[in-house]
A and B are shown apart, each in its own frame.
Chain A
């Protein structure tokens, strides 16, 4: 589904990642962990094409990402659900419209999906905040909205960057359930987090593999996790 081959990346200074190879098979469930500043967000950005590797190759859905023009990249992103660590929204639109944004920009009939939309909003506990603007949301509410937006298109793969960073335990379990549910439907999931409790909770329910960034490389974590 997504494949990194000997990828190196640097933001201009020293190399942040070198010789990273990883492979997310269809239907797999992965966690990506590592200390703050290790490059988790960077790996995710490489996966969805916001950053281009300095060396190495990234393939998504069997195509080399370098070969995609901007329109093809847009079409590829519609098959990916992305939760950004900083939850980027359109601040002038209500939460509901932000959550529905992937539908809007891909020209899907908004009215037809409105049932899904309200169901999704209630799943992430935002039904009563649907008309609020994103700047009026709390950090946790923003993350819930971001997750809802990521999954509304029923994407083939969900890439979530700290999706539970600001929510309480109960809510983080609820959000995790949503992702596990999607995985059971056959979707590929990659969650970047340093919340070990969340990882343990997930491992008791799904076959999840844990990748750890250390020494500028991505490695499979030991069985202790």
Chain B
């Protein structure tokens, strides 16, 4: 903590021993600003696709339906057989055959409430609620085919699964981009710091001759780059957030793009960008300074 205070507050006199480094200063500011800006969008993308994957995954609701189409005289037996199979299958929380009333209620919107169900050859529906870990749909299907010829398993996941997968890979891509952006920023700041150190080797020589320790010289450079990275990142994040906020609001249609904003606890992420960027600058400039000072000795 003390060390951090020392880094932030610094020593006005100590700071001035290193001459202003115009070009590398602007490069650091710009690079960290641009990187922070991009990070905000990558973050927004990751968080939004994460939320989407989560919601879609939940909505799959872990439920499936088994439809039994059989001649009327076998219906009860096959339904019972299917329920037996389901009871023996791991990964199923519960299974229940719908009653006639429930089935007619389901069909009512299409055929009217007074549908004479018992006179029509209606399939029987079994509602299956998935347990955790989920059941193996392929295995269940095979067993049903063998033991209950009239049964068809319909797990709605079939068409939604790819969407969830896509959302999840989008989220992973977002995080990967953030890592790459971070790496690029560290590389750029390292280069800028190295250029500044090399350009100032005479200053370093003079400082050494009057008895400055390596740590002192390094800190003078590290402080600058850290502060610049922090300021650049803060500006970049502000602009990025402004951009995200200017997107259409989330409530309108609930589509993917409109859900890009930050919500609740996820606000912590963009707020973390400037300190993380500064931390990265601290580490990479520190390493560059140690290397250069070793080389210049």
Contact = CB atoms under 8 A, between A and B. Distances in A.
A82 B293 CA distance: 21
Contacts of B191: none
Given A78-B211, A105-B207, A93 B16 contact: yes
Contacts of A84: 209
What interface size band does chain B fall in? 20 to 34
A88 interface: yes
A90 B212 contact: no
Contacts, number: 69
Given A70-B297, A104-B14, A110-B13, A75 B211 contact: yes
A110 B11 CA distance: 11
Contact of A105 (B17, B20, B202): B17
A78 B209 CA distance: 9
Given A70-B214, A102-B211, A88 B17 contact: no
B267 interface: no
Contacts of B293: 70
Contacts of A71: 213-215
Interface in A45-104: 48, 50, 70-71, 73-78, 82, 84, 88-93, 97, 101-102, 104
A66 B252 CA distance: 74
B146 interface: no
Contacts of B213: 70-71, 74-75, 105
Nearest to A155: B211
Contacts of A153: 211
B14 to A, nearest CB: 6
A101 B214 contact: no
Contacts of B205: 88
A102 B210 contact: yes
